[in-house]
Structure 1
Amino acid sequence: MSSSRKLSNEEVAALLEGLEDGALDVGTGVLPGKEYQPYALGNDDANLLGDLYTLRLINERFGRQFRNILLPMLRFAPRVQTMPPETKRFDEYLSGLDSFLSLTTLRVDELKGSILATVPARLISILVNSFFGGRGDSAVTRTSEFTPTEERIIQIVMEGATKTLSEAWKEVYEANFDVMASEMNPAFLSFIEGNEQVVICSFVVQLPFAKPAAIELVYPLQMLKLIAPLLRSKVQRIGENRDENWATRLRDAVLQIPLVIAPRVAEPTVNLTQLLRLQPGAVISIEAFNDIPIYIEGHPLFTGRIGEKDGKMAVSIID
């Protein structure tokens, strides 16, 4: 335990005198001769989120469902590859963007902020081309603004993305994403300051007749700090938010599985001598129309009785 005793005036004066006449070496502090760099407490925000394990899981859920948004336009389910989150300065991220692309700001009230969704113009042209029966290898024909058809495609993609994103976040944090604004040129984008850190989540769409295209979600690091413990945790909540639609679809699919019903009318027995004498025209007597077992996929589950209904042979389940 450290002592709480204060230095007396005489002791303070002796220390100051020693510093002035050189009796005390001022270079005897912590690790003398080492180089140091300034550090501001609280500014190393990236380390607060760890390896973003939970955000990776959210991205994987989003990537699996996002392909269903593109399916009606591409007329096939593309492969969407989820890339690891990357942290960098926002101005550095903007410098790597094309001068013409779809930039949509999504409001997240629960996190008191907003995120940015980017879609390359080339992918939008491909979606329009495929939607109207093309092969999906269209190139960008305009570099200043989107056509009304392209704007409608962007709207459809963003509407689906916001719903899918809310579902992907639901098991970790209840957050609703809503479209707030859109832009086509990064130079006119109003999002956050350029020196702020952001987390970029990329989703690469694999296309059979064109080069892959990446859709990106950009989270301000300052916004994610609000739920940093959740994003660092590798233990996820299970069962609190069940996917009722998935459970219903699974139940309906199971109920539609065809099963073979096989009533066994008789099972006579013969010895080996009789078996060797069997030939076309031989007659084996059976006890018909007694209670018979009914097999479902090879398992005896019911007892029935052979009869007739509407002029056809039928079996009635009696037990």
Structure 2
Amino acid sequence: MAGLEEASTPFGAAAAAATGAGSAAAHAARPFALGNEAFRPSARLAGLERMGERLAQRIRTVVEPFARARTQVAAEPLETLRFEEWRAALPGFTSLSLYRLRPLKSGMLLAIDPDFVAWLVDAFYGGGGAPAKPKTREFTPTEERLLSRLADGIVEQLVEVWSEVVALTPALASRETNATYASLVRADEAVVLQRFTITPAQGRAAGVSILYPLGALRPYEALLAAKVHDEGGAGDAEWRMRLAEALETVRLPVRSVLARPELTLSQLVALKPGDVIPITLNPRVPLIVANRRIASGTIGEQDGRAALMIDHVERTVR
């Protein structure tokens, strides 16, 4: 027994040590840096992605008059990331327009490829469509004017698409060409990136990006998630027809009032079996549904039962 105890003691100690080590490892504090977690697009922002597809079609109508050519615009999947991460990936020279969209908080950033702006100016004024030289310093006055019209046109279409969810009032806050001065939210805050790839018929593909603060979209997540926003196609017409057919079978209580005699309070209190209350039947009695008079007619008889023959239907029912 002693030998068994001596043999088992080290094993038990080792097991306890291992268990203790495992428990300590499980509960050991691990380093964590706030803001380093991977942001993922919210599933409740799916409505924003669908709105992006519609906005892509509208952006095409804004770009084509400048490009003077057929243009394709494709909406890319949403991406959620930190603002500093997005800003670090921008080139040193770019076009950034900050708009306030009331009642959204913190506004919205519109980023446009500067080389695309230069190409649009060349195409608009009859250029040959050759790729523009990469821009590295500043926009010319002509490019500034075209950029202003292009950005305002895109934001106008964005507001139109958003009108299904909330009425937005846009206002330009600033334009920047240096990402360092782009201040939408704090560097560690999450933003939702909505990219559009624009491909003119005779030019290279370019990018236009819209950046929303994730916190500004939170109050509208339920509306964005709940929106089906069908365009009124065949499915919508079929649904309306089926709804109309279902409503036709709904049964409603209908009543008619033959007479409305009046009694004093003393007469009402003195009522007893055998009393007779004289009434006067009107030649025409109403047909009432939910306290609303919808028709009137005369009392008669049909198949041995009292019946009401409709003489008049109220116009407000139709």
- TM-score tier, shorter chain, comes to 0.5 to 0.7
Aligned partner of residue 52 in structure 1, secondary structure = helix
Measure, in 2, the Cα distance between the counterparts of 1:54 and 1:44: 24
Match of 1:75 among 68, 87, 107: 68
Match of 2:136 among 137, 143, 162: 143
Q: What amino acid is the match of 1:224? A: L
Match of 1:166 among 159, 162, 178: 159
Deviations along 1:182-205, one digit per CA (max 9) or x if unpaired, are 001102222221111111000100
Runs (4 or more) in structure 1 with deviation over 6 Å come to: 34-40
Measure, in 2, the Cα distance between the counterparts of 1:226 and 1:45: 22
In structure 1, the partner of 2:78 is: 85
* Aligned 1:1-319 pairs, distance under 5 A: 33=26, 49-50=42-43, 52-140=45-133, 142-236=135-229
Identical-pair percentage: 31
User: How much has 1:47 moved relative to structure 2?
Assistant: 6.5
| Residues 40, 80 of structure 2: 8 Å contact kept | no
Q: What amino acid is the match of 1:147? A: T
Structure 2: state its 5+ residue gaps.
1-18, 233-318
Q: What amino acid is the match of 1:217? A: I
Provide closer, same or farther for how the CA distance between residues 141 and 84 of structure 1 changes in structure 2, counting only shifts above 3 A. Answer: closer
| Residues 41, 78 of structure 2: 8 Å contact kept | no
User: How much has 1:219 moved relative to structure 2?
Assistant: 0.5
Give the alignment's TM-score, normalised by structure 1: 0.59
User: How much has 1:51 moved relative to structure 2?
Assistant: 5.3
Aligned partner of residue 113 in structure 1, secondary structure = coil
Deviations along 1:74-100, one digit per CA (max 9) or x if unpaired, are 112300011011011111111111111
Measure, in 2, the Cα distance between the counterparts of 1:226 and 1:47: 18
Provide closer, same or farther for how the CA distance between residues 167 and 198 of structure 1 changes in structure 2, counting only shifts above 3 A. Answer: same
User: How much has 1:179 moved relative to structure 2?
Assistant: 1.6
Provide closer, same or farther for how the CA distance between residues 228 and 47 of structure 1 changes in structure 2, counting only shifts above 3 A. Answer: farther
Aligned partner of residue 219 in structure 1, secondary structure = strand
Larger helix share, 1 or 2: 2
Aligned length: 215
Measure, in 2, the Cα distance between the counterparts of 1:170 and 1:44: 33
Measure, in 1, the Cα distance between the counterparts of 2:211 and 2:146: 21
In structure 1, the partner of 2:251 is: none
Q: What amino acid is the match of 2:143? A: E
Q: What amino acid is the match of 2:207? A: A
| Residues 125, 138 of structure 1: 8 Å contact kept | no
Deviations along 1:53-110, one digit per CA (max 9) or x if unpaired, are 1001111111101111111111123000110110111111111111111100010111
Measure, in 2, the Cα distance between the counterparts of 1:138 and 1:145: 18
Measure, in 1, the Cα distance between the counterparts of 2:159 and 2:111: 17
Deviations along 1:153-188, one digit per CA (max 9) or x if unpaired, are 111101211210111111122222222110011022
Measure, in 2, the Cα distance between the counterparts of 1:227 and 1:36: 37
| Residues 89, 198 of structure 1: 8 Å contact kept | yes
Provide closer, same or farther for how the CA distance between residues 237 and 180 of structure 1 changes in structure 2, counting only shifts above 3 A. Answer: farther
| Residues 100, 171 of structure 2: 8 Å contact kept | yes
| Residues 64, 80 of structure 1: 8 Å contact kept | yes
Aligned partner of residue 66 in structure 1, secondary structure = helix
User: How much has 1:50 moved relative to structure 2?
Assistant: 1.5
Q: What amino acid is the match of 2:86? A: Y
Deviations along 1:2-52, one digit per CA (max 9) or x if unpaired, are xxxxxxxxxxxxxxxxxxxxxxxx98xx9x947887999xx9996793252
Measure, in 1, the Cα distance between the counterparts of 2:49 and 2:135: 35
Measure, in 2, the Cα distance between the counterparts of 1:137 and 1:96: 27
How big is the alpha-carbon RMSD for the aligned residues of Structure 1 and Structure 2?
Answer: 3.4
Q: What amino acid is the match of 1:82? A: A
Give the alignment's TM-score, normalised by structure 2: 0.59
Q: What amino acid is the match of 1:100? A: F
Aligned partner of residue 87 in structure 1, secondary structure = strand
